[in-house]
Amino acid sequence: MKRAWMILVVLGWAGCATVQLDTPEPLKVDINMKVDVEQKGGVASKPEGTVLSAAEERRMLSHQVQELKNDHKAGEGRDGFLVLKEDPKDLAYADYAKAVVAKENAARKKLFGEKAELEGKTEDQYGREFARRSREASYPGEWIQGDDGRWGKK
């Protein structure tokens, strides 16, 4: 018993040590970061005088297109084009959605033309193949149009 008591006294005394947590000068943190700011209602645009490929245009719009799909406002049509399934109630968001769909479909039309020529197909044939791949790549809950024209959620 005496020994246990002595251990407690020693441990108690050792636990009273002071630790200095302040520093003589403030801590300095070097941070290097990049910030991209997006606003609903704006559409990604290319710098003036720059000609982008169809793939680059689509890459610039990909986040906005996915946002419309996640909101269940747009879906993948059977012809390979993006379809605005439902106009948003907010007028600014509706204008934004229409502009995104129009820009995405213009880029897709350009892409279909380029790829169809390379593969010796018509634009319609390539568009239908693109639609099939888009349906397969869609996330659960997104609108997709089957070859028979019927719409459903994946």
pLDDT band at residue 119, thresholds of 50, 70 and 90?
Answer: very high
From residue 129, how far is each of 35, 64, 77, 79, 149 by CA, in Å? 37, 23, 11, 8, 15
Q: Write down the pLDDT at residue 27.
A: 78
Q: Is the pLDDT of residue 58 over 60?
A: yes
Rounded distance, CA 42 to CA 10, Å? 69
Q: Write down the pLDDT at residue 33.
A: 74
Q: What is the mean pLDDT of residues 32-47?
A: 59
Contact partners, residue 132, CB within 8 Å, separation at least 6? none
Mean pLDDT (the chain, rounded): 84
Between residues 50 and 101, which one has the greater pLDDT? 101
Domain-by-domain residue ranges, the chain?
54-153
